[in-house]
Amino acid sequence: MKAMIIEKYGKVTPLIMTEQPMPDMGEHDVLVEIHAASLNPIDYKIKEGKVKFLLTYKFPLILGNDFSGVVVKVGDRVTAFKPGDEVYGRPRKSRIGTLAEYIAVHEEDISLKPHNLSFVEAASIPLVGLTTYQAFTDIMNLQKGQKILIHAGAGGVGTFAIQLAKLMGLYVATTASDKGYELVKSLGADLIINYRKENFEELLTGYDAVFDTLGGEALEKSFQILKPGGQIVSISGMPNARFGKDQQLGWMKTIVLSIVSRKITALERKSYSKYHYLFMKPSGAQLKIIKEFIEAGHIIPIIDKVYTFENTGQAFQYLEEGRAKGKVVVQMK
């Protein structure tokens, strides 16, 4: 099969299209012919070796973290799917590799795709959908009427997060540029802060939650807007000791995370809030819930650009520029 690989970590490491062996299948696995795969910041972070402290891979490495496609074969103990099923999913972190013609995934990690979406649209959903759903429900347990700030509302995660937050009955503030204003407004944002002209930390107060997709100064300033007992979930900040314990990374890595995240921990204590670093888990069951939201018309995919498989390298470059409004998708079929 054709696959897009890297042979070592590095920012300028080229993506190479090569022939690779077909994936090995286990008895609970489903072999999927991939029709489309979307790109996410985690893809170039893996490519550049920025997460090798938490995730280790062997080379050559096939990149890619979510997909849509058609089931072509199922393992002996698979009961939920059959050949011909149209599915979408996010493979577990040890089995990434969606920038390829085929992938073998555990049946628990996929769902039937929403019937009202194309393969390109469906491929844009799994990672951002699961990330947001787990942040809002599994971690923060947000309730109707609460107030949340969603950073970078016009981005891949942000466009999904605004829609889910409004579906849950939340008051949504978000940051965006002039170019993203109309998009986030159309998705239902209640308050839009132009981050080029305004400082969100000077305008907001008494918020229940922050969903951070930026890290850095934006994350640090977010503690200022929370009311006591508020929560921050970040997908771009620094993992802390709590994350190390939850992920069972071992005492050495947990201590290292405790040291490097000490500034965040101090802000957490000072603001009487709680900080969580989110490493999303694959879940076919949650993708089924998201599928129902989409089929009911509550959430729509937002796609910026679609690239051919051969132009995956260009897609990576565009994503890294940080200008995408919505998702960037690579189409195989």
Which letter, b or e, does each residue of 98-107 get, where b requires 16 or more Cβ atoms within 10 Å of its Cβ?
bbbbbbbbbb
Q: How far is CA 305 from the centre of its chain?
A: 17
Residue 169's alpha-carbon distances to 131, 147, 148, 166, 189, in angstroms, are 19, 9, 11, 5, 12
Residue 103, pLDDT score: 98
pLDDT at 168: 98
- Measured in residues, the chain has a length of 333
Tell me the three state secondary structure of residue 189: coil
pTM over 0.95: yes
- Domain at 2-125+301-331: CATH code: 3.90.180.10
Give residues with Cβ within 8 angstroms of 220, minimum separation 6. 263, 264, 267
pLDDT per position as a tens digit, 208-250:
999 999 999 999 999 999 999 999 999 999 999 999 999 999 9
For 127-145, write each residue's pLDDT tens digit: 999 999 999 999 999 999 9
Q: What is the CA radius of gyration of the chain?
A: 19
Where are the domains positioned within the chain? 2-125+301-331, 128-277
At 127, list the tokens.
Answer: 């990672």
Over 90: is that where the pLDDT of 39 sits? yes
Burial class, 63, CB count within 10 angstroms (exposed 0-12 / middle 13-18 / buried 19+)? buried
Assess whether pLDDT exceeds 90 at residue 257. Answer: yes
- Kindly state the percentage of the chain with pLDDT values over 90: 97
Mean pLDDT within 290-318: 97
> For the domain bounded by 128-277, which CATH number is listed?
3.40.50.720
Question: For residue 333, is pLDDT > 90?
Answer: no
Burial class for 218, CB neighbours closer than 10 Å (0-12, 13-18, 19+): buried
* 3-class DSSP assignment, residue 307: strand
Q: How confident is the model at residue 119 (pLDDT cuts 50, 70, 90)?
A: very high
**Which residue is listed with tokens 């199922």?**
74
**Residue 9 clears pLDDT 90, i.e. is over it:** yes
Contact 271, 224 (CB under 8 A): yes
Q: What is the mean pLDDT of residues 105-110?
A: 98
Mean pLDDT (the chain, rounded): 97
Query: What's the pLDDT band for 33 if we cut at 50, 70, 90?
Result: very high
235: CB partners within 8 A, 6+ apart: 131, 135, 157, 212, 213, 277, 278, 280
Which amino acid is residue 37, in one-letter code? Answer: A
Tens digit of pLDDT for each residue in 45-102?
A: 999 999 999 888 999 999 999 999 999 999 999 999 999 999 999 999 999 999 999 9
Per-residue pLDDT tens over the stretch 166-179: 999 999 999 999 99
323 confidence band (pLDDT: 50, 70, 90): confident
* pLDDT band at residue 159 using 50, 70 and 90 as cut-offs: very high
What is the per-residue pLDDT for 125? 98
